């Protein structure tokens, strides 16, 4: 597809000023756009939720900051690399968790100091809970099967799931066999893999649950 074919829809999105923002708000992944100095230019809904937690990333006086000041250099170095056109993958940690961030320079006609930089945040889990609900409904899973699948996606084994749910291991294994049958998979790895590659949607389902 040539640039001319894309020009009209691109102009329409630019004219409304909200089309791309609406698309970004559908994503379960947090996406931020910042300047090379860390000035926050845009944050989608998932990113705003992460910033509001103030556990790993935060905003102070309009600039991105790390909640742990000792890790601020990691973020600043990634932004400096992006300013020179280089991508990087960083991991920020806090006592309450870890956040992986891909830092990507965006193409721009602006002078280098004004090149916008995208920061793609890792998801909190293999699959957003509401997207998992959508998957469960699509495959006719029972509430018990959906619960077992959710815990499987967190990396727990059948005996560990049985202990959590206070049921027999044989009951959990029966649910797993049923899950594999309904989703046409041949084991736990394939089952979790099918969930892991679901479209990264999540934020909008908070207002518009799947049917």
Q: Give the pLDDT band of residue 110 (cuts 50, 70, 90).
A: low
Which part of the chain is CATH 1.10.10.10? Answer: 129-206
User: Does the structure show a pLDDT above 80 at 107?
Assistant: no
User: Does the structure show a pLDDT above 50 at 185?
Assistant: yes
Pick the CATH number of 129-206 from 1.20.1260.10, 3.30.930.10, 1.10.10.10, 3.40.50.620: 1.10.10.10
The predicted pLDDT at position 129 comes to 73
The predicted pLDDT at position 137 comes to 92
Q: Give the homologous superfamily in CATH for domain 3-121.
A: PAS domain (3.30.450.20)
Identify the CA nearest to 112 among candidates 41, 42, 36, 40.
36
The predicted pLDDT at position 105 comes to 94
pTM, rounded to two decimals: 0.68
> Residues 175-210, buried b or exposed e (16+ Cβ, 10 A)?
bbeebeebbebeebeebbebbeebeebbbbbeeeee
Which part of the chain is CATH 3.30.450.20? Answer: 3-121
């Amino acid at each position: 597809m040539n640039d001319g074919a894309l020009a009209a829809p691109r102009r329409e999105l630019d004219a409304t000023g909200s089309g791309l923002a609406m698309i970004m708000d559908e994503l379960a992944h947090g996406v931020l756009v910042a300047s090379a100095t860390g000035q926050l230019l845009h944050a989608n809904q998932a990113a705003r939720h992460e910033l509001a937690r103030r556990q790993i990333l935060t905003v102070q006086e309009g600039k991105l900051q790390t909640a742990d000041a000792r890790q601020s250099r990691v973020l600043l170095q990634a932004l400096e690399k992006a300013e020179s056109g280089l991508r990087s993958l960083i991991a920020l940690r806090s006592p309450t968790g870890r956040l992986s961030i891909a830092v990507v320079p965006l193409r721009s006609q602006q002078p280098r100091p004004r090149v916008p930089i995208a920061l793609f945040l890792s998801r909190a889990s293999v699959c957003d809970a509401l997207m998992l609900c959508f998957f469960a409904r699509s495959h006719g899973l029972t509430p018990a099967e959906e619960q077992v699948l959710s815990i499987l996606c967190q990396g727990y084994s059948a005996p560990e799931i049985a202990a959590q749910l206070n049921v027999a291991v044989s009951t959990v294994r029966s649910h797993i066999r049923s899950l594999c049958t309904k989703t046409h998979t041949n084991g736990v790895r394939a089952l979790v893999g099918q969930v892991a590659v679901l479209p990264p949607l999540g934020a909008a389902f908070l207002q518009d649950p799947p049917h």
